[in-house]
Amino acid sequence: VKFLTAAAAARHVAKEIDKLIRARNAAGKHTVLGLATGSTPVSLYRELIRLHREEGLDFSRVVTFNLDEYYPMPKESQHSYFRWMHETLFSHINVKWENIHIPDGALKPDEVDAACEEYDEKIRSFGGIDIQVLGIGRTGHIAFNEPGSPQNSRTRLVTLDSITRRDAADGFSGEKNVPHHALTMGVASILEARRIFLMAFGEHKASIVYKAVEQAPTEAISASFLQEHRDATFVLDEAAAAEL
């Protein structure tokens, strides 16, 4: 799928989420959304907030799982994805606090493995993710699954690639302040979602989008494993689709 503008792409994904939530609400059932951070999904979240405010979209039965969090990272830090998600989306819609799940950057080192396992179990306990929203990093990562992440990887502690840390430097006022590690859902945890939308906008994403879509699936580019998913869509603007 190609769209001329990022705004139209965001509206398209928002519409799909809107349809599913309304259908589930009508049946008295919950909707499980997998959510991403970064600049890419901001326009989508803005559109979801608009649908909530102006068109009565009810998030009270929505359950969310975020992809990742820096580690270590206190929730209240200005750099945490926890804080970013609340400021960008959660505090503007009627999602219930207890239905929000984000990997906990404040875990003690000896708690990490068990908590990661629990995260995957929690997703399963809600019946799995209905719609997963993804961005893509310049290393080809989905969530923080850097080059070398196996297709069967689960939620875990990872080391960030130097390109990823460089790309995050602005937000941290300098690369030296960017954490070296993160907690991330694994490739397998992500691929278990029933429907996936990977969004990418801008010419700086064109070459990695080309590799993820047109080259053979490889651990070197975790987004390339989406080719093996039954219902994964790349939602792109013209610039990001330029090399396809």
For residue 181, the 8-state DSSP code is E
CB 41 within 8 A of CB 11: no
DSSP string, 24-66: HHHTT--EEEEE--SSTTHHHHHHHHHHHHHH----TTEEEEE
The least distance separating ligand GLP from the CB of residue 182, rounded to whole angstroms, comes to 7
Decide if 146 is catalytic: yes
CB 65 within 8 A of CB 129: yes
Cα R_g (the chain), whole angstroms: 17
Sole binder of ligand GLP in the list 1, 19, 29, 39 (CB under 6 A): 39
Within residues 117-136, the interface with ligand GLP by CB under 6 A covers 135-136
> Is residue 67 close enough to count as binding ligand GLP by CB under 6 A?
yes
Nearer to ligand GLP, 37 or 64 (CB): 37
> Is residue 144 close enough to count as binding ligand GLP by CB under 6 A?
yes
Nearer to ligand GLP, 29 or 180 (CB): 180
> Is residue 208 close enough to count as binding ligand GLP by CB under 6 A?
no
Cβ partners under 8 Å of residue 170, min gap 6 = none
Tell me which of 146, 175, 238, 243 is the catalytic residue.
146
Using CB under 6 A as the criterion, which residues of the chain lie in contact with ligand GLP when the complex forms?
Answer: 36-40, 67-68, 135-137, 143-144, 164
Catalytic residues: 146
